[in-house]
Amino acid sequence: MKKLVGLPYPVTEMLPRVGEAIRTARIRRRKTAADIAGRLGVSLPTLRKLETGDPGVSLGTFLAALWLLDLSPALMAALDPAKDEIGLTLEMARLPKRVRPAADVKLDQL
């Protein structure tokens, strides 16, 4: 049997907000729950769980809903490596202080 690990508090706070955003987008697009559930290939109870932020809904279902409602470009923009400030900062910290030519390269070859 798998051991269940509790989700970090910020994640448990985000899930209902993401679900509500999906629900709001569905309603704004005048799509019924039955229509979206059918297009996602899930049951109505699963769609309701998704819209309330249930952590048991698969990531694939969340992403498919975002794609179906044309919200995936915003997600992909947020995941752009160029916007990863922590990663960029760590990368800059690892840069060498100075660069020396390789031992086998003569200065006149540069």
- Give percent above pLDDT 90 in the chain: 74
The tens digit of pLDDT for each residue in 27-55 reads 999 999 999 999 999 999 999 999 999 99
Tokens of 1: 């049997």
- Within the chain, strands assigned E span none
Q: Lowest-confidence range among 17-21, 35-39, 49-53, 97-101?
A: 97-101
97 versus 69: the higher-pLDDT residue is 69
Rounded distance between C-alpha atoms, residue 81 and residue 88, angstroms: 9
In-domain check, residue 110: no
Alpha helices in 4-103 (DSSP H): 9-28, 33-40, 44-52, 59-68, 72-78, 85-93
For residue 55, what are the domain limits? 9-97
The model's pTM: 0.74
Number of domains in the chain: 1
Give me 40's structure tokens.
């996602």
Residue 83 covered by a domain: yes
